[in-house]
């Protein structure tokens, strides 16, 4: 574990390729980006510069509260957040802002800070998710709770160490959420946009938690209704990961209602496609590429659209063998590799894998089509389209089906309703 002072220095100096944040005054580095073109050239670098400064300040404040708390908890939150993913949500927010014609200095500074807040709330979601899923690995490394358990293996052996790790991870997620809220509260958007930004942030938090609850509820009750699986995906991924970041960018830019609705519809479609492909990656992906063991959703019994479609197709076909495999394996944490392989074979043989891949491709196409319905600034619209395409993953080369499948029809109707009402 990196010591707290060393971590503060490392967060402040590295990870952005931009050197240490300028500190001529007490303002953060977001104020160094006076022109939006500087952010356009390296959105992730700009957000990471702001994030590094915010994290360093908060770890320093934690050190003043208590050194053990700072070392074991605050520093872990900072490291997890700083060394995180691809910053997809901040990128979506930024390019939505630019597509709506935004980019004045107050808008740019606010967007960079909100981008950092989005990364912090993602830390909260992932750290808590790993505890709920009992996932030992995240991003190719020990998950936060597993890391703490290993650190205290001698001082707190056995169950005590496991409980300590889980409790620390829960507190770490809470701290990340508190830091995110602090950042939003301290951000000053352009006049006339602050209320809408805070409404969107409040909704984003609620929807993230609601989607997670539907997940754990479905796991515990073995509920695999397709409509409920789509609803959970819309809340947890479509809204939280794509639509709300786009809406935040539009709000910061002061976009009109028609443009905002088009962006939100695009985000809902692409966000659902993202979750469908994430379900496929969990089942069929290479752990070396995904950074987590394959089959986690199968072992936890997560109510994914993939599992729901497979079950619906097996029931419609009267395929007792496939239903037996699903019922005997989904939700079993001790499922063997052979049993996982049998579930994957059912996903493929029932046509669920191809149906979900095809549905994801259609959703991406529909989502990008929504962008064509409104006039957007090409300086933001072009990279926004590319960003949305990357978020959902490459379109799969699978044949379309003939529309006679009841599971496909249910997925089509539910996704369409979810994609247009906001």
Mean pLDDT over 345-366 rounds to 96
Residues 298 and 382 in one domain: yes
Give tens-digit pLDDT for 218-243: 888 988 888 988 998 899 889 999 99
From the number of C-beta atoms within 10 Å of its C-beta (0-12, 13-18, 19+), residue 421 rates as: exposed
What is the share, in percent, of the chain residues with pLDDT greater than 70? 86
Instruction: Answer yes or no: is 90 within a domain.
Output: no
Residues 157 and 201 in one domain: no
Residues 158 and 291 in one domain: no
Give tens-digit pLDDT for 183-213: 999 999 988 899 999 999 999 999 999 999 9
Residues 148 and 66 in one domain: yes
Confidence of residue 420 (pLDDT cuts 50, 70, 90): very low
pLDDT value at position 84? Answer: 77
Per-chain mean pLDDT for the chain: 87
Residues 162 and 206 in one domain: no
CATH number of the domain at 392, please.
1.10.600.10
Instruction: Answer yes or no: is 199 within a domain.
Output: yes
Q: How many domains, the chain?
A: 2
Residues 133 and 200 in one domain: no
Instruction: Answer yes or no: is 261 within a domain.
Output: yes
pLDDT at 170 over 70: yes
- What are the beta bridge partners of residue 141? 138
CB 93, CB 246: distance < 8 Å: yes
Mean pLDDT over 318-327 rounds to 97
- For residue 180, how many other CB atoms are within 10 A of its CB? 25
CB 98, CB 40: distance < 8 Å: yes
Give tens-digit pLDDT for 341-350: 999 999 999 9
pLDDT value at position 102? Answer: 95
Q: Domain boundary residue among 164, 189, 214?
A: 189
Confidence of residue 422 (pLDDT cuts 50, 70, 90): very low
Mean pLDDT over 97-111 rounds to 94
What is the share, in percent, of the chain residues with pLDDT greater than 90? 72
CA–CA dist 332, 41 (Å, integer): 47
Q: Domain boundary residue among 189, 217, 243?
A: 189
**Residue 375 host element (H or E):** none
Residues 144 and 237 in one domain: no
Tokens of 322: 């496939």
Instruction: Answer yes or no: is 412 within a domain.
Output: yes
Mean pLDDT over 349-358 rounds to 96
Residues 165 and 296 in one domain: no
What is the CA angle 193-195-200, rounded to 5? 95
Residue 56 CA: distances (Å) to CA of 7, 63, 176, 180: 8, 11, 13, 14
CA–CA dist 396, 369 (Å, integer): 18
CA–CA dist 53, 154 (Å, integer): 35
pLDDT value at position 33? Answer: 73
- What are the beta bridge partners of residue 138? 141
Instruction: Answer yes or no: is 91 within a domain.
Output: no
CA–CA dist 312, 63 (Å, integer): 54
Instruction: Answer yes or no: is 312 within a domain.
Output: yes
Residues 347 and 229 in one domain: yes
CA–CA dist 43, 94 (Å, integer): 8
Give tens-digit pLDDT for 375-411: 999 999 999 999 999 887 764 333 344 444 544 444 5
Instruction: Answer yes or no: is 88 within a domain.
Output: no
pLDDT value at position 34? Answer: 63
Instruction: Answer yes or no: is 92 within a domain.
Output: no
Residues 161 and 229 in one domain: no
CA–CA dist 73, 173 (Å, integer): 10
Tokens of 263: 């962006």
From the number of C-beta atoms within 10 Å of its C-beta (0-12, 13-18, 19+), residue 301 rates as: buried
Mean pLDDT over 253-260 rounds to 97
Q: Domain boundary residue among 159, 189, 219?
A: 189
Residue 380 CA: distances (Å) to CA of 101, 103, 138, 269, 366: 8, 10, 32, 19, 19
pLDDT value at position 133? Answer: 86
CA–CA dist 93, 97 (Å, integer): 6
- Give the residue numbers spanning the domain of 19: 1-83+105-189
CB 249, CB 94: distance < 8 Å: yes
Residues 157 and 226 in one domain: no
Mean pLDDT over 106-118 rounds to 96
pLDDT value at position 193? Answer: 93
Q: Quick one: three-class SS letters along 145-192? A: HHHHHHHCCCCCCCHHHHHHHHHHHHHHHHHHHHHHHHHHHHCCCCCC
Give tens-digit pLDDT for 122-137: 999 999 999 998 889 8
Mean pLDDT over 362-370 rounds to 95
Residues 174 and 204 in one domain: no
């Amino acid at each position: 574990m990196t010591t707290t002072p060393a971590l503060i220095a490392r967060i402040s100096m590295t990870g952005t390729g931009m050197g240490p944040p300028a500190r001529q005054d007490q303002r953060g580095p977001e104020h160094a980006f006076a022109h939006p073109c500087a952010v356009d050239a390296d959105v992730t670098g700009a957000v990471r510069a702001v994030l590094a400064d915010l994290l360093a300040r908060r770890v320093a404040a934690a050190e003043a509260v208590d050194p053990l708390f700072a070392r074991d908890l605050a520093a872990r939150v900072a490291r997890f957040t700083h060394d995180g993913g691809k910053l997809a949500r901040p990128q979506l927010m930024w390019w939505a802002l630019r597509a709506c014609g935004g980019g004045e200095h107050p808008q740019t500074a606010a967007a960079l800070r909100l981008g950092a807040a989005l990364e912090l709330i993602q830390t909260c979601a992932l750290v808590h998710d790993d505890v709920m899923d009992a996932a030992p690995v995240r991003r190719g490394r020990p998950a936060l709770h597993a890391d703490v358990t290993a650190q205290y293996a001698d001082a707190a052996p056995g169950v005590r160490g496991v409980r300590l790790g889980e409790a620390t991870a829960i507190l770490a997620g809470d701290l990340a959420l508190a830091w995110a809220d602090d950042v939003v509260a301290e951000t000053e958007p352009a006049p006339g946009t602050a209320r809408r930004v805070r409404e969107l942030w409040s909704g984003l938090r609620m929807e993230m938690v609601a989607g997670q609850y539907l997940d754990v509820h479905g796991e515990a009750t073995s509920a695999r209704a397709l409509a409920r699986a789509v609803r959970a995906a819309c809340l947890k991924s479509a809204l939280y990961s794509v639509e709300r970041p786009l809406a935040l960018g539009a709000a910061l830019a002061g976009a009109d209602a028609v443009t905002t609705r088009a962006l939100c519809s695009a985000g809902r479609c692409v966000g659902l496609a993202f979750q469908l492909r994430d379900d496929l990656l969990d089942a069929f992906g290479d752990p070396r590429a995904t950074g987590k063991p394959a089959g986690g959703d199968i072992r936890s019994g997560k109510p994914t659209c993939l599992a729901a479609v497979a079950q619906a197709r097996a029931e419609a076909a009267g395929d007792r063998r496939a239903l037996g495999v699903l019922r005997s394996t989904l939700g079993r944490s001790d499922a063997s590799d052979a049993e996982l392989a049998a579930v994957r074979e059912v996903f493929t043989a029932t046509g669920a894998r191809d149906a979900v891949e095809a549905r994801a491709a259609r959703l991406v196409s529909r989502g990008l089509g929504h962008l064509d319905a409104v006039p957007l600034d090409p300086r933001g619209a072009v990279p926004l389209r590319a960003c949305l395409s990357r978020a959902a993953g490459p379109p799969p080369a699978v044949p379309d089906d003939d529309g006679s499948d009841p599971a496909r029809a249910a997925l089509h109707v539910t996704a369409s309703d979810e994609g247009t009402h906001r």
